[in-house]
Amino acid sequence: MSNDAADPLAAKPMYRAVKTSRLYEQIVQQVEDSILKGQLKPGDQLPAERDLAQRFGVSRTAVREAVKTLREKGLVEAYSGRGTFVTNGTSQATRQSLDLMIRVNQQEGSANLAELRLVLEPDIAALAAGRIEEQLLTTMREAVSEMDRNLRDPDGYVEADLDFHLALAEAVGNPLILSLLDSIVGLLREQRSRIFNVEGGPQRGQYHHKRILAAIEQRDSDAAREAMRAHLQQVLQDSSSTTKNSSRTRSRVKPTS
């Protein structure tokens, strides 16, 4: 396959060089127009920052500001190490709605999120096992190695954990699935940060991640499904543990008069 076939922006010279002072706004408008006209579709990847800067005739700083604005509008999402992808436009609204639901009932929210994942992600892993390409397998392997190196660093561990699971969702090749997982990334980050502090949590997570990766490498859908289910059952237990600990902490705090 040629580079042009892989690049949704290469088929037509859709963009014009921009010349006024607020460059990033014009970039945002042109990308928005491309999405509205169907020239860019959910799941399409934007070119790299350097390539976009050359196409628009602007600095990379202007491109970064434009991508930030597009993300805030819920039109694109950036994934560490993989690039920036067009969403279906509903991720931001879905994210805000789910965030609110979790925060209104925070005591049960983490366990509810774990149950939601238990419904969705085993079958995502099963589909990914039959469809994943080598590039995303490399992303998963690198994520596992990164988590091994960051067993005492919550920030590094959690970001690699997110990369691991989002690579599976991306491997399925269904933009709706990727958009749905993207809509709960913020919640997943918070959940993983809490579980990281449960004694043995990162080590248990790595045991399961390596089992999932092995099943994916073997293209074994049934094994991938079962490995992911076992992982998320452990997440559910650890989430329940954090909820109980939080409840005990609040019960020890005396109300002030």
Task: Determine the average pLDDT of the residues in 173-195.
Answer: 81
Q: pLDDT tens digit string along 57-86?
A: 888 888 888 888 888 777 888 776 778 888
Q: Which residue, 185, 184, 235, is CA-closest to 207?
A: 235
pLDDT score at 253: 43
pLDDT score at 256: 41
Give the predicted TM-score (pTM) of the model. Answer: 0.61
Q: pLDDT tens digit string along 185-201?
A: 777 888 888 888 888 98
Comparing 30-44, 187-201, 232-246, the range with the smallest average pLDDT is 232-246
How confident is the prediction for the chain on average, in pLDDT?
A: 81
pLDDT score at 179: 73
pLDDT score at 88: 66
Cβ count within 10 A of residue 214: 13
Comparing 54-63, 100-109, 246-255, the range with the smallest average pLDDT is 246-255
Q: Which residue, 114, 105, 117, 115, is CA-closest to 247?
A: 105
d(CA 153, CA 157): 6
Q: Answer for the pair 201, 237: CB distance below 8 angstroms, yes or no.
A: no
Q: Does residue 152 surpass a pLDDT of 80?
A: yes
More confident residue, 52 or 182: 52
Q: pLDDT tens digit string along 106-134?
A: 556 667 777 889 999 999 999 999 999 99
pLDDT score at 255: 43
pLDDT score at 103: 57
Share of the chain above pLDDT 70, in %: 75
Q: Does residue 184 surpass a pLDDT of 80?
A: no
Judged on CB neighbours under 10 Å (0-12, 13-18, 19+), 253 is exposed
Q: Does residue 6 surpass a pLDDT of 70?
A: no
d(CA 73, CA 46): 16
